[in-house]
Amino acid sequence: HLRLWRLARQYTLCDNFFMGTFGGSFLNHQYLAAAQPPYYPHADRSPAKFQIATLEDGPTGIRPKLAEDSPANAMQGRAKFATGDALTPDFWAVNTLGPAYAPAFGHDKRDPRFADADSPNTLPAQSHLTIGDALSAAGVDWAWYAGGWQLALDGHGDGDHQAFPEVPNFQPHHQPFNYFRQFAPGTAARAQHLRDAGSGSEAASNHFIAAAAAGTLPPVAFYKPQGDLNMHAGYASVDAGDRHLAQVVEALQASPLWPNMLVLITVDENGGWWDHVPPPKGDRWGPGSRIPTLVVSPFAKQGFVDHAVYDTGSILRFITRRFGLRKLPGLTLREEAMIAAGGPPPGDLTAALQFA
């Protein structure tokens, strides 16, 4: 059995947890950070103008227009679309675009701290509120630990010259806070909150695990494993990622912080982990497909399957409730949409706990 399955049997498995958006890794990471998609102002007059989707069913539709020479069906080949599809007709970024800052898909030749602003694959810096901003406004320390972050910054797999290498296989579009102006290079917020997790699974090289062992993790910590350990369908080993996550959980359980810790383990897409079920009706962006999520904590119900409806934003709802934060607008939008559709709004994960 997978090590994650053993954790699921011991703690709480959420079986009605849906990814925040109808989208891939880029958009679901953005939703985790801010509960909304990024925006590209004046995209029709930008280098990314050819990334704007043409839709069959109007500017807020969901069906991209097929090219005239697109195969008639899947048996004859992959569909070809009339235009790119990274941006909606009203300029929301919904498919993969790179961050404005390094590590990026391509770098500014004058200042390697920045991405190539002339590239159609670079999204302008964002400025809307993130869960990090809400935490900082309340005086709560937090950090995003990214595996391979410093290696990528140092040019090991520089986007200008070569593909990011198989190890650590750093993914620039999996780093949502790097898209925001408030965490730009040179800011104090970037230095404090965007942290290098190092590499591998040993405390000597993995700074997240080392911080857990030392009891120095901030009150809210996100951990994004390096690409070859993130269990992503298609390019990462399930066994290597499963082994890594088990080592991370063991380090957290051995931490002096463990008695007061709540650990949430989830993914950004389905990847075949679950059989599919129809997602609940929500707003324009989601919820998307069902994804596995585990609640691992001394406070988690033991051997419990939680049937409550959640989405990726439920992680933010829990953080918001725990620390009394200002609620992000996207969370309210999703809740109101799901209520209007006749269903329950997404929960805040407290149903998985032994106290409310």
Residue finishing a domain among 71, 102, 124:
124
* Domain of residue 151, CATH code: 3.40.720
Residue 31 shares a structural domain with residue 141: yes
Q: pLDDT tens digits, residue range 325-339?
A: 999 999 999 999 999
Residue found by looking up tokens 């103008």 in the block: 49
Instruction: Count CB neighbours of 299 within 10 A.
Output: 17
The residue segments making up the domain with residue 267 are 3-37+126-352
Q: Is the peptide bond before 225 cis (omega within 30 degrees of 0)?
A: no
- Whether residues 73 and 54 share a domain: the answer is yes
Which DSSP helix (H) or strand (E) runs through 214?
A: helix 207-214
Q: Give, for 149, the enclosing helix (H) or strand (E).
A: helix 149-153
Residues 107 and 151 in one domain: no
Residues 106 and 190 in one domain: no
Angle between helices 313-323 and 329-340 (to 10 degrees): 120
Same domain, 164 and 301: yes
Instruction: Name the domain boundary from 74, 105, 124.
Output: 124
**Cβ-based neighbour number of residue 73 at 10 Å:** 8
Predicted confidence at residue 234, as pLDDT, reads 83
The count of domains in the chain is 2
Q: By C-alpha distance, which of 312, 37, 30, 25 is closest to 176?
A: 30
Cβ atoms < 10 Å from Cβ of 161: 9
Q: Are residues 90 and 158 in the same domain?
A: no
User: What are the tokens at 15?
Assistant: 């079986």
Q: Which residue, of 103, 124, 145, is where some domain finishes?
A: 124
Tokens found for residue 147:
């595996």
Secondary structure class of 142 (helix, strand, coil) = strand
Same domain for 27 and 120? no
Listed as ranges, residues in the chain with pLDDT below 50 are: 157-162, 356
| Same domain flag for 184 and 87 | no
Same domain, 147 and 163: yes
| Tokens 């120095």, residue located | 216
d(CA 290, CA 272): 10
- Residue 294 pairs in a beta bridge with 13, 265
Q: What is the pLDDT of residue 165?
A: 59
CA–CA separation, 356 and 349 (whole Å):
10
Closest residue by Cα to residue 246 from 265, 228, 262? 265
Residues 24 and 145 in one domain: yes
Rounded CA-CA distance 87/53 in Å is: 6
pLDDT of residue 131: 98
Helix (H) / strand (E) element for 294: namely strand 293-296
pLDDT the model gives residue 283: 96
The answer to whether the predicted template modeling score (pTM) of the entire model surpasses 0.75 is: yes
Which pair of tokens denotes residue 205?
Answer: 């090289």
Residues 225 and 276 both lie in one domain: yes
pLDDT at 158: 42
Burial class (CB in 10 A: 0-12, 13-18, 19+), 65: middle
Phi, psi of 107 (to 5 degrees): -115, 150
Closest C-alpha among 272, 31, 292, 353 to residue 174:
31
Instruction: Describe the strand order of the beta sheet including 220-224 as a list of residue ranges.
Output: 194-196, 142-146, 220-224
Q: Do 311 and 252 share a structural domain? A: yes
Q: What is the pLDDT of residue 156?
A: 65
**CA 187 from centroid of its chain's CA atoms:** 22
- Kindly report, residue by residue over 77-132, the tens digit of the pLDDT: 999 999 999 999 999 999 999 999 999 999 999 999 999 999 999 999 999 999 99
Q: State how far the Cα of 120 lies from the Cα of 142, in Å rounded to an integer.
A: 32
